[in-house]
Amino acid sequence: MNYSWNWGILFEAPYAEWLLSGVAWTIGLFAASMVVGFGVGTGIGLMRIAPIRWLRIISGIYVEMFRNVPLLVQIFIWFYVMPELLPSDVGQWLKRDLPMPAFWTSVVAIGFYTAARVAEHIRAGFLAIPAAQMQAALATGLNLRQVYRYVLLPRAFRIVTPALTSEAISVMKNTSLALTIGVLELMAQSRQIESYTFQSFEAFTAGTAIYIALCAAVVFVARHIEARYAIPGMIQSR
Amino acid sequence: MIALQNVSKWYGPTQVLRECTLSVARGEVVVVCGPSGSGKSTLIKTMNGLEPIQHGEIVVDGVKVNDPKTDICALRAHIGMVFQSFELYPHMSVRNNIALAPIKVLRRSETEAYKRTEALLKRVGLEGHADKYPAQLSGGQQQRVAIARSLAMDPKAILFDEPTSALDPEMINEVLEVMTQLAGEGMTMVVVSHEMGFAKSVANRVIFMDAGEIVEDRPSGEFFSAPQTDRAQQFLAKVLHH
């Protein structure tokens, strides 16, 4: 292989700044998508197990729609198709006046997609709690809202922490798809450095290493949360 | 205190309770026994509305349990319940397990609720365990915490659903002792149990169920010395002869 290595390029202007700016956009996409995904997902997950039939039906339809369509397809639908389907002035606003349209569209797409998956984890977490626990809490006079708030939710979240950690890592990696609609996040910047310098190995190695580091940071934080909320006397607390 | 009139319940096409009628007076201790699958647990769970019924009427402390207008939470607040599998909240300390409902339902101050907690723990023989978590306690200790949790609401009656069935033999007595002590203090108790010794020595009455039906309802002395039905005789022969 006849290739002239130049790792130094990664630390030269303007490429170093490009990488840093890419990391910043990736983190921004990640943070906003997490808020949408975990927030909406928790709500949908609670609807999935609600004692009200039509809530279960609606949330079931949501989950099947959003987790069974590839994320890339969803991003394209939100970005290219949605503005045309909406009333023309709303569509106009989305296309012309919304600041950072590609960024927010990506956040909505990744967030809603993630929400469907988070909802299923939350539902599984609740189903893992024996029915008698809810009966015991109700028997003390707590109302249904209090039973969820103080007994079931805290237990369910502990059960699903490992699954939600994987979900958070997926969100981090899924942000790279935002490049397809023009968000200059880490993946886009790595490619841009490659096109400008033809140092493809260095550019993509840098991108890869940074994704690994970002995901490792997510795992690190998740481990801390797990340890912080570990229940004394149970296996996770050792 | 507790009165059931012709209570019937179905799970789909299967009838699990058949025209059950019984009453429990204030201060009375009633043991419900019978083969597994006979509807004992279901029956006791209808008394605080955990299991809905399709037919009949249940009145507890003057309140109709199966009336949709009844504030069921308010009723449950003063009817305690102890479960076979303890059902403590694993993510809360013993103290918070006991104080949760007094604080959230009875709106007691934390200071007051925690003070009561200490007294209750002493009463069930678990002084100094308030900061432990359920998983750090033995089964017998967990069940005594569960009893303390129901006592924290100053209940007018306590329902026990097989409180010793999940315990190792050497832990059964520590739980039965607490229950015996409660009975001695005049607590109204309905106890689903296979502990015939407890039924003999503590219960005022024994109710024998089979296939969703109340087959016998008699003073405990009579029930053990001269069961009237074949089904009760067969059952006693099985549980007493070992």
- Neighbouring residues of A86: CB distance < 8 A, sequence distance ≥ 6: A94
User: Would you say residue B67 has pLDDT above 80?
Assistant: yes
Taking 70 as the threshold, does the pLDDT of residue B180 lie above it?
A: yes
Give pLDDT, residue B26.
95
Give residue-wise pLDDT tens across range B200-231: 999 999 999 999 999 999 999 999 988 899 99
Which carries the bigger pLDDT value, residue A234 or residue A47?
Answer: A47
| Residue range A149-158, pLDDT digits in tens | 999 999 998 9
Residue type, A76: F
CATH superfamily, domain A8-229, is MetI-like (1.10.3720.10)
**Minimal Cα–Cα distance from A186 to chain B, Å?**
40
pLDDT digits (tens, 9 = 90+) for B161-175: 999 999 998 899 999
Q: Compute the mean pLDDT over every residue in chain A, rounded to the nearest whole number.
A: 93
- Is A236 a residue whose pLDDT tops 60? no
CB contact under 8 A, A137 and B89: yes
Q: Is there a contact between A83 and A91 (Cβ–Cβ < 8 Å)?
A: yes
Q: Which amino acid is located at B184 in the chain?
A: G
pLDDT at A88: 85
Interface subset of B 87-116, CB within 8 angstroms of A: 87-91, 100-101, 104-106
Interface contact B50, partner A, CB < 8 A? yes
pLDDT of B240 higher than 90? no
- The rounded distance, in Å, linking the Cα atoms of A109 and A32 is 11
- Residues of chain B found within 8 Å of residue A229, distances taken between Cβ atoms: 91
Share of chain B above pLDDT 90, in %: 91
- The per-residue pLDDT for A238 is 47
Inter-chain contact A158–B80, Cβ cutoff 8 Å?
no
Q: For residue B82, give the nearest of B1, B19, B139 by alpha carbon.
A: B139
Strand order, beta sheet including B63-64: B14-24, B2-11, B55-60, B63-64
Which residue on chain A is closest to B90 by alpha carbon? Answer: A231
Return the pLDDT at B242: 54
Q: What is the mean pLDDT of residues A105-117?
A: 97
A235 touches chain B (CB under 8 A): no
- B146 chain-A contacts, CB cut-off 8 A: 136
B212 has a chain A CB within 8 A of its CB:
no
Q: Are B86 and B143 in contact (CB under 8 A)?
A: yes
Domain ranges of chain A: 8-229
pLDDT at A237 over 80: no
Contact B193, B162 (CB under 8 A): yes
Task: Give me the DSSP letters along A107-153.
Answer: HHHHHHHHHHHHHHHHHHHHHTS-HHHHHHHHHTT--HHHIIIIIIH
Is pLDDT above 50 for B141?
yes
pLDDT band at B238 (very low <50, low <70, confident <90, very high): confident
Tell me: the pLDDT tens digits for A191-225?
A: 999 999 999 999 999 999 999 999 999 999 999 99
Query: How sure is the predictor about A87, in pLDDT bands with cuts at 50, 70 and 90?
Result: confident
Burial class (CB in 10 A: 0-12, 13-18, 19+), B49: buried
pLDDT tens-digit series, residues A112-124: 999 999 999 999 9
Look at residue A98 in the predicted model and tell me its pLDDT.
83
| Chain B residues near residue A141 by CB distance under 8 angstroms | 73-74, 76-78, 101, 105-106, 153
**How much is the pLDDT for A92?**
83
Cβ <8 Å between A142 and B101: yes
Summarize pLDDT for A137-182 with one digit per residue, the tens.
Answer: 999 999 999 999 999 999 998 999 999 999 999 999 999 999 999 9
pLDDT in tens, A34-75: 999 999 999 999 999 988 999 999 999 999 999 999 999 999
A16-36: per-residue pLDDT in tens?
Answer: 999 999 999 999 999 999 999
Cβ contact (<8 Å) for B81 and A233?
A: no
